[in-house]
Amino acid sequence: MQTRKKYIFLTFLASWLLLFFFGGDQLRRFAFFSGRKAEARRNWPRWTDRSLLKSFADPEELQRDGDPSLLSPRERRAAWLSVYRSSRCRMETCFDFSRCERNGFKVFTYPQERGQPISDTYSKILSSIERSRYHTLNPEEACLFILSIDTLDRDHLSGQYVRDVDEKIRGFPLWNGGRNHLIFNLYSGTWPSYTGELGFDIGQAILAKASFDSESFRPGFDVSIPLFSKEHPQRGGHRGWLSQDSVPPKKKYLLVFKGKRYLTGIGSGTRNALHHIHNGQDIISLTTCKHGKDWEKHKDTRCDKDNVDYERFDYQELLHNSTFCIVPRGRRLGSFRFLEALQAACIPVLLSDGWELPFAEAIDWGRAAVVGSERLLLQIPSAVRCIRPERVLAFQQQTQFLWDAYFSSVDKIVHTTLEIIKDRLSPHRSRSRFLWNTLPGGLLVLPDFSTHLGDFPFYYLQHGYSPSKKFTAFIRAVSQAGSLSQPILRLIQAVSGSQYCAQIVVLWSCEKPPPPSGKWPQSAVPVTIIQGSGKLSDRFFPFEAIQTDAVLSLDEDTSLSTSEVDFAFLVWRSFPERIVGFPTQSHFWDAEQGRWGYTSKWTNELSIVLTAAAFYHRYYHSLFTEYLPAALRELVDGLAACEDILMNVLVAAVTKLPPVKVTQRKQHKEVVAQQAECRDGAAGTPPPGQRSPSAPHAAPAKGKGSAGSRRFSQRQDCLDQLADWFGYMPLVSSQLRLDPVLFKDQVSVLRKKYPSLEK
Amino acid sequence: IMCASAKYNTRGPALIPRMKTKHRIYYITLFSIVLLGLIATGMFQFWPHSIESSSDWTVEKRSVHDVPVVKLPADSPIPERGDLSCRMHTCFDVYRCGFNPKNKIKVYIYSLKKYVDEYGTLVSNTISREYNELLTAISDSEFYTDDVNRACLFVPSIDVLNQNALRIKETAQALAQLSRWDRGTNHLLFNMLPGGPPDYNTALDVPRDRALLAGGGFSTWTYRQGYDVSIPVYSPLSGEVDLPERGPGPRRYFILSSQMALHPEYHLELEALQAENGESVLILDKCTNLSDGVPAVRKRCYKNQVFDYPQVLQESTFCVVLRGARLGQAVLSDVLQAGCVPVIIADSYILPFSEVLDWKRASVVIPEEKMPEMYSILQSIPQRQIEEMQRQARWFWEAYFRSMKAIALATLQIINDRIYPYAAISYEEWNDPPAVKWSSVSNPLFLPLIPPQSQGFTAVVLTYDRVESLFRVITEVSKVPSLSKLLVVWNNQNKNPPEDSLWPKIRVPLKVVRTAENKLSNRFFPYDEIETEAVLAIDDDIIMLTSDELQFGYEVWREFPDRLVGYPGRLHLWDHEMNKWKYESEWTNEVSMVLTGAAFYHKYFNYLYTYKMPGDIKNWVDAHMNCEDIAMNFLVANVTGKSVIKVTPRKKFKCPECTAIDGLSLDQTHMVERSECINKFASVFGTMPLKVVEHRADPVLYKDDFPEKLKSFPNIGSL
């Protein structure tokens, strides 16, 4: 009885519920509709005759946009030259492109005159240019000119202010109204208005200036540079502070500011308001009134309390422990704070209205900073709280990338400026915004190599490409002419046996001619012979003959088997931006001698893969030859066995990652057949044997002839000089080696793909 | 706070207490609610609907000719000329936009009026078809508001698309009398054809004071960067002609010029190119002897050959877009539509939407001076890049050129991004065509960092009730030097974890987390207790890994912090017979997955697994009590595009993934289930993200002939 009642009741209930839902739905729809309709009434009307409306322009008018009465294009361009000058300069009106066409992009720095005071910072800038690969000593072939007069500080109250610039400039025969000149400036204008006033007429020169305001900035012509301090390193530079990616960001503070507050005058508006957002917990915003000589005169009621709070926190500690950093304008638009925050991975929150951000022509700041509005200061806390953790993580990483790619040294700032100007000269051979804003950054990507992303080793994943499925074996031969040595024959045999080998290129580094084609072994792949000049840096020249993405660099006495090559190539396809190879060495800091040391002994780590047997991307040949300045290549040519270290250093500087070592067959050290060396052709050619893949055994131990130890010390010198040139030690160590999945596992060899590697 | 951002739960979702049915009062309440609901419904059902429909009809049935007429006195005020120094921070009133959780600006459209001068003559055509489409698009968009007081941006209904179709002074007067004009602050004007004879200014000549201008044909001297928006000149042909996308690849002509009325000087230059390079250059012009009724705009001629326009554009790799009297040309739109790579020759021209679009990926810009070198410049572009530019050109057209709606929405989005920069649309979203968005990955951990060793890792042990085995795991794992914390996830709700005193004493903190439900996904929850970047997920029965092996695994993870680094590897295979994916656990030469019974990974992936797992995978895994590790492998590979790293040789694992090991049949069901998982996940992800590799990571000196005591990790690979 009870159950039946329950059932009836339930059915009853269910049917009511059903009705309710049905009705409810109707009700909702009704309400929704009436709402929509009411709104629709005020929407833009659907005119009954909308299909009859006339088009905004006659099709003929759109397609025949010409007016014969207008100036001809040539006349117009000529007319522009006189109209668009000084404050309206653009590259097409104020820059002489023809100067750059003859000799390419060459930069000339005026010789320094005696008695001419030059600040440390300006001499750093000049030496950055002199270190760049674009520098020339010949004004005739120059495309861009840099003054020797220090124009950095144009605040005439400052001690660094150089007087009578106008007069001096007019005395320069090369000045030419400032055409094709680049002028650097960090401080312009003075108390109280701090305008962009430079105190001399720059004529048609390009201005690279810090704290540029968007109004006086001539787009596509000037370059906005960051403000950097006297202590900013010349080269290398310190790394960013981000050492780990954490989500959510585990920082003590959300948002910080610590700095001066101007009581009066320009820029005081924002700084005086900053204390409003201070909450003492996760938002710390501290200002001090102590500024200038007579601050007490303007002192207000907050000052005493603010000054006390201010002393309680340490600026560096705040930088380290905050997710966001407020970067407000100072007297001028830019501040040191900007680069400091960038380095600290503290996401800059910019409050500097009208600031043309540094290198904004290339850098997409929206990915690394929050570009706030001074007027909306009070919204900043809620705005930054709303940024989702994964976006914060992306911001943080981007600050580090930008810092390291463009800002960490004077060299980088100056070179970025030059590259931006160079890119304007031939727009079709320039870097896209994507290249500038993606690792490894614009400076390391040469548009002269290619403008296609797929040709570089860095963008495969971002664009869904994959590296080519074949490789080019590139063998450097130094042996006596007339007969080919046994090792090289064996090597060609082994390499051409690989299913992935597309071609073999032999670099014949000997003055004597290579053996006739009939003497070369028959192989399944084409063999090309290139006559080299005998220089050591030759082996990394971007030869036209190399057609594949992957290069397998080999010495003639390298001994490899086909399966080693196959396996290493497959590994390289997983790591196309790194060097993947067999024999390795490692570097270390020798604290006793205060220098870098290197060892080829068996160690648990590795940081250098010898290019006597290594895969890498062919782009690195271009980078080696085009990107590195000639002086560095000369250094390498002068030292024995330094070129492969330089290659490793270069790749590590680009990728920030260690190279990859792969399995190498164990072999007894072969007594390399004595080869007559081609002394005349290659002065610094290392003795063979030491460079074979069995090199780990060939440690330059005591008792190895004097040649070996000389080589060893030269390599050490090389490492030291490279570290000095780069300004830091780019090499990164790795503790692992990649082996085939079943390497030395206790399984039947029949199941293994690379059984021969285990012998 | 109004943020829409996901707040972190510190624990897994709590159990909802099961409701117990309770007696009559409850039923009666329910009953009365139901009854009330029904009555309410009924009332609404039978309510007269007349108000709604009548108002609707009158509005919908209006004609543009019926709009109110406004007479402009001759002395009514004229706004100042456009201010070239205007920027967002000087001329734009940002306070009107306010802070709002959706980060969307509100746009108001003035109602349509007909403006006449003192003598009753029209000031301009009331509204063009295109401007009507544009306003309709705005009013249908999320940006629209009908409340003038809430608006941040105002769009006049006065049509200034074509400067030649209006009277300048009177139009300016009409603007000035708009109810919220206020010197044009926050007003947005759309103009495509600026200037007129004789000087053809590159921006609209109508005095407009502080109003923003979305203009076609800006030059670098009139464009106020960061304030104005450069827009395309709409080509009405886009609406008329349907050009299906043509696959990228070589085409019949290399360079094509299709513009009529080119300046003779340009024409000569083009002809010189043609003389030099022959038939690969095609220069088309107006047809002179067309029969009546054939629209001249749809035909082009070369000598006596007649070509259909714009179809002919698809026959060429590159299409020249030269400036005419104005800088902006409608032909750019036609060229993009045809997937022809535009060669833009117009010095000082600001390309459409250049604030956000990366034109270097879709076009070639050549200075006018360099026209004679055009052929060689274009030939130096690699074929692969040309193909990408063709695809990119078409994508730009589809997304930003094809309709007035596309143009309007892109313009508003650009302004929106300036006002809410922290919620701005990314470069990739603007620029990547769908095919690239689909095939590419953007690794969330893109910065090459090797985390400091000192940080160590947190071991997370998921356990149910195998206490004895759990304790052994804890003891073993605690021997690893870099272990910084041990977290036990107690997944058994029916049993309490052992008392504190019973747990093994170890040198690092040990925390026990109790979960609310026995779910596999609890293993991947981003617990606050995990303070390190590195997480070691380990099952409560994995006791065979040596301390050296674990420490080495951690070192390998440091070198690959964005990957799964694990011990037992697995493989997925395509089963050609069944036409689906198959799971493989045999001794293979390849790996594409590692089991999370023992694997290192970044804590970020816990966050992704818990909050960003696509589709219903997370629930599916919890319901089936299986495949959480495969799901993790999919997730990581999908987001990074990288393979897993298997470390150290294979050793005898006690089939860590099986619940029972005995009996072949059980093993087979297991394999079938795992295969099902792979197929299910591949369909949810819409692709197979797993990458197959043939390598594993060993210590540098592994199995080398070298004294063991000198090796960093001697104890590796013992069975």
B665 to chain A nearest CA, in Å?
Answer: 24
Q: Is residue A733 part of a domain?
A: yes
Question: Which residues in chain A have Cβ-Cβ distances shorter than 8 Å to B226?
Answer: 214
Alpha-carbon distance A399 to A405, whole Å? Answer: 10
Q: For testing the chain A interface, which of B3, B221, B422 should be mutated: the one with the most A CBs within 10 Å?
A: B422
**Quick one: residue A186, left, alpha or beta (phi over 0 = left, psi -120 to 50 = alpha)?**
alpha
Q: Is residue A51 part of a domain?
A: no
The answer to whether residues A312 and A197 belong to one domain is no
Using an 8 Å Cβ cutoff, are B419 and B105 in contact?
yes
- Is residue A716 predicted with pLDDT exceeding 70? yes
Question: Cβ separation of B63 and A385 shorter than 8 Å?
Answer: no
B7 contacts: CB under 8 Å, gap ≥ 6: none
Spell out a b/e string for A682-720, using b for 16 or more CB atoms within 10 Å of the CB, else e. Answer: bebbbbbbbbbbbbbbbbbeeeeeeebeebbebbbbbbb
The answer to whether residues A385 and A530 belong to one domain is no
pLDDT value of residue A50: 87
Q: For testing the chain A interface, which of B138, B392, B446, B610 should be mutated: the one with the most A CBs within 10 Å?
A: B446
Using an 8 Å Cβ cutoff, are A91 and A424 in contact?
yes
CATH number of residue B499's parent domain? 3.90.550.10
Instruction: For residue A605, give its domain range.
Output: 471-665+715-719+726-738
CA B379, B381, B385, B391 dihedral sign is: negative
Q: Is residue A16 part of a domain?
A: no
Question: Cβ separation of A735 and B552 shorter than 8 Å?
Answer: yes
Top-ranked range on mean pLDDT: pick from A625-639, A744-758, B262-276: B262-276
More confident residue, B623 or A191: B623
Give the count of beta carbons closer than 10 Å to the beta carbon of residue B31. 15
Q: For testing the chain A interface, which of B27, B31, B44, B404 should be mutated: the one with the most A CBs within 10 Å?
A: B44
Give percent of chain B with pLDDT exceeding 70: 90
Least confident of A124-133, A462-471, B633-642: A462-471
pLDDT value of residue A694: 37
- Is residue A41 predicted with pLDDT exceeding 60? no
- pLDDT confidence band for A231 (50 / 70 / 90): very high
- A46 in helix, strand or coil? coil
Q: Is residue A117 part of a domain?
A: yes
Question: Cβ separation of B30 and A67 shorter than 8 Å?
Answer: no
The answer to whether residues B657 and B633 belong to one domain is yes
Containing H/E element for A569? helix A562-574
Using an 8 Å Cβ cutoff, are B395 and B383 in contact?
no
pLDDT value of residue A654: 95
Alpha-carbon distance B564 to B606, whole Å? Answer: 12
pLDDT value of residue A697: 39
Q: Is residue B59 part of a domain?
A: no
Per-residue pLDDT averaged across B125-144, rounded?
94
Q: For testing the chain A interface, which of B700, B701, B718 should be mutated: the one with the most A CBs within 10 Å?
A: B700
| Residue B436 touches partner A, C-beta closer than 8 Å | yes
The answer to whether residues A205 and A267 belong to one domain is no
The answer to whether residues A260 and A392 belong to one domain is yes
Per-residue pLDDT averaged across B688-693, rounded?
94
Using an 8 Å Cβ cutoff, are B283 and B303 in contact?
no
The answer to whether residues A401 and A535 belong to one domain is no
Which of A754, A614, A743 is CA-nearest to residue A691? A614
Average pLDDT over chain A, rounded to an integer: 86
pLDDT value of residue A432: 92
B556 contacts: CB under 8 Å, gap ≥ 6: A735, A736, B565, B600, B645, B647, B697
A354-399 pLDDT, tens per residue? 999 999 999 999 999 999 999 989 999 999 998 989 899 999 999 9
A447-474 pLDDT, tens per residue? 999 999 999 999 998 888 889 999 999 9
Using an 8 Å Cβ cutoff, are B155 and B110 in contact?
yes
- pLDDT confidence band for A703 (50 / 70 / 90): very low
Q: Is residue A692 part of a domain?
A: no
Least confident of A185-194, B187-196, B270-279: A185-194
The answer to whether residues B392 and B419 belong to one domain is no
- Is residue A690 predicted with pLDDT exceeding 60? no
Instruction: For residue B533, give its domain range.
Output: 457-697
Q: Is residue B343 part of a domain?
A: yes
Alpha-carbon distance B706 to B708, whole Å? Answer: 6
- Is residue B53 predicted with pLDDT exceeding 70? no
Question: Cβ separation of A464 and B200 shorter than 8 Å?
Answer: no
Q: Is residue A433 part of a domain?
A: no
- pLDDT confidence band for A700 (50 / 70 / 90): very low
Rounded to the nearest 10°, the torsion over CA B421, B427, B432, B436 is -110
Q: Is residue B256 part of a domain?
A: yes
Question: Cβ separation of B365 and A745 shorter than 8 Å?
Answer: no
Of A397, A428, A571, the CB nearest to B377: A428
The answer to whether residues B197 and B247 belong to one domain is no
Q: Is residue A679 part of a domain?
A: no
- Is residue A614 predicted with pLDDT exceeding 70? yes
The answer to whether residues A488 and A339 belong to one domain is no
pLDDT value of residue A689: 37
How many independent structural domains does chain A possess? 3
pLDDT value of residue A535: 84
Q: Is residue B218 part of a domain?
A: yes
Burial of B620 by CB count in 10 Å (0-12 exposed, 13-18 middle, 19+ buried)?
middle
Of B368, B436, B531, the CB nearest to A463: B436
Question: Which residues in chain B have Cβ-Cβ distances shorter than 8 Å to A13?
Answer: 27, 30-31, 34
Alpha-carbon distance A429 to A423, whole Å? Answer: 7
B240 to chain A nearest CA, in Å?
Answer: 12
More confident residue, B357 or A702: B357
Burial of A276 by CB count in 10 Å (0-12 exposed, 13-18 middle, 19+ buried)?
exposed
| Residue B261 touches partner A, C-beta closer than 8 Å | yes
A404, A538, A644, A739: the active-site residue: A644
Q: Which residues pair with A183 in a beta bridge?
A: A207
Question: Which residues in chain B have Cβ-Cβ distances shorter than 8 Å to A60?
Answer: 296-297
* Peptide bond preceding A526 in cis form (omega within 30 of 0): no
More confident residue, B75 or A687: B75
Chain B: residue nearest A36 by CA?
Answer: B52
Containing H/E element for B684? helix B664-685
Give the DSSP letter string of B298-338. GEEEETTEEEETTGGGGGEEEEEEE--SSS--THHHHHHHT
Using an 8 Å Cβ cutoff, are B650 and B568 in contact?
yes
Alpha-carbon distance B441 to B235, whole Å? Answer: 35
A293 to chain B nearest CA, in Å?
Answer: 32
Which of A207, A625, A627 is CA-nearest to residue A421? A207
Of B41, B221, B295, the CB nearest to A27: B41
Greatest Cα pair distance in chain B: 106
pLDDT value of residue A691: 39
The answer to whether residues B687 and B650 belong to one domain is yes
Alpha-carbon distance A711 to A729, whole Å? Answer: 21
The answer to whether residues A270 and A200 belong to one domain is no
Listed residues A390, A407, A424: the one ending a domain: A407
The CA-to-CA distance between both ends of chain A, in Å, stands at 86
Chain A: residue nearest B701 by CA?
Answer: A604
Alpha-carbon distance B93 to B87, whole Å? Answer: 11
Using an 8 Å Cβ cutoff, are A407 and A420 in contact?
no
The answer to whether residues B432 and B503 belong to one domain is no
pLDDT value of residue B704: 84
B71-89 pLDDT, tens per residue? 999 889 999 988 889 999 9
Question: Which residues in chain B have Cβ-Cβ distances shorter than 8 Å to A387?
Answer: 5, 422
Give the count of beta carbons closer than 10 Å to the beta carbon of residue A753. 16
CATH number of residue A293's parent domain? 3.40.50
What ipTM was predicted for this assembly? 0.89
The answer to whether residues B347 and B409 belong to one domain is no
pLDDT value of residue A688: 38
How many independent structural domains does chain B possess? 3
Interface of B with A in 163-182 (CB under 8 A): 164-165
| Residue B74 touches partner A, C-beta closer than 8 Å | no
- Is residue B253 predicted with pLDDT exceeding 90? yes
Least confident of A58-67, B593-602, B669-678: A58-67
Interface of B with A in 555-594 (CB under 8 A): 555-556, 559, 561, 569, 587-591
Of A245, A250, A431, the CB nearest to B449: A245
Q: Which residues pair with A606 in a beta bridge?
A: A734
- Is residue B268 predicted with pLDDT exceeding 90? yes
**Quick one: residue A336, left, alpha or beta (phi over 0 = left, psi -120 to 50 = alpha)?**
alpha
Q: Catalytic residue at A245?
A: no
- pLDDT confidence band for B64 (50 / 70 / 90): confident
Spell out a b/e string for A39-76, using b for 16 or more CB atoms within 10 Å of the CB, else e. Answer: ebeebbbebeeeeebebbbebebbbbbbbeebeebeeb
- pLDDT confidence band for A113 (50 / 70 / 90): confident
pLDDT value of residue B12: 43
B17 to chain A nearest CA, in Å?
Answer: 22
The answer to whether residues A530 and A391 belong to one domain is no
Q: For testing the chain B interface, which of A62, A364, A382, A387 should be mutated: the one with the most B CBs within 10 Å?
A: A62
Question: Which residues in chain B have Cβ-Cβ distances shorter than 8 Å to A17?
Answer: 34
A144-176 pLDDT, tens per residue? 999 999 999 998 888 888 888 888 888 899 999
Alpha-carbon distance A736 to B707, whole Å? Answer: 18
Q: Which residues pair with A597 in a beta bridge?
A: A588
CA A267, A272, A273, A278 dihedral sign is: positive
pLDDT value of residue A599: 86
Per-residue pLDDT averaged across A406-410, rounded?
96
The answer to whether residues B407 and B390 belong to one domain is no
- Is residue A477 predicted with pLDDT exceeding 80? yes
Of A97, A245, A574, the CB nearest to B604: A245
Average pLDDT over chain B, rounded to an integer: 88
The answer to whether residues A201 and A284 belong to one domain is no
The answer to whether residues B533 and B672 belong to one domain is yes
Question: Cβ separation of B161 and A56 shorter than 8 Å?
Answer: yes
Interface of B with A in 458-517 (CB under 8 A): none
The answer to whether residues A331 and A403 belong to one domain is yes
Alpha-carbon distance A267 to A158, whole Å? Answer: 20
pLDDT value of residue A364: 94
Distances A557 to A490, A526, A686, B195 between C-alpha atoms, Å: 9, 20, 12, 73
The answer to whether residues B428 and B466 belong to one domain is no
The answer to whether residues A174 and A314 belong to one domain is no
CATH number of residue A511's parent domain? 3.90.550.10
Give the count of beta carbons closer than 10 Å to the beta carbon of residue A327. 28
pLDDT value of residue A699: 39
CATH number of residue B325's parent domain? 3.40.50.2000
Q: Is residue B711 part of a domain?
A: no
The answer to whether residues B330 and B282 belong to one domain is yes
More confident residue, A268 or B60: A268
Rounded to the nearest 5 degrees, what angle is found at the Cα of B383, between the Cα atoms of B378 and B386? 65
pLDDT value of residue A675: 38
Q: Is residue B14 part of a domain?
A: no
- pLDDT confidence band for A190 (50 / 70 / 90): confident
The answer to whether residues A516 and A618 belong to one domain is yes
- Is residue A36 predicted with pLDDT exceeding 70? no
For the record, the structure tokens of A402 come out as 């930008």
Give percent of chain A with pLDDT exceeding 90: 52
Chain A: residue nearest B329 by CA?
Answer: A62
Q: Is residue A41 part of a domain?
A: no
Q: Is residue B69 part of a domain?
A: yes
Question: Which residues in chain A have Cβ-Cβ distances shorter than 8 Å to B138?
Answer: 44
| Residue B9 touches partner A, C-beta closer than 8 Å | no
The answer to whether residues B202 and B261 belong to one domain is no
**Strand arrangement of the beta sheet that strand B569-575 belongs to:** B580-584, B569-575, B593-594
Per-residue pLDDT averaged across B680-706, rounded?
92
B159-211 pLDDT, tens per residue? 999 999 899 999 999 999 999 999 999 999 999 999 888 889 999 999 999 99
The answer to whether residues B601 and B654 belong to one domain is yes
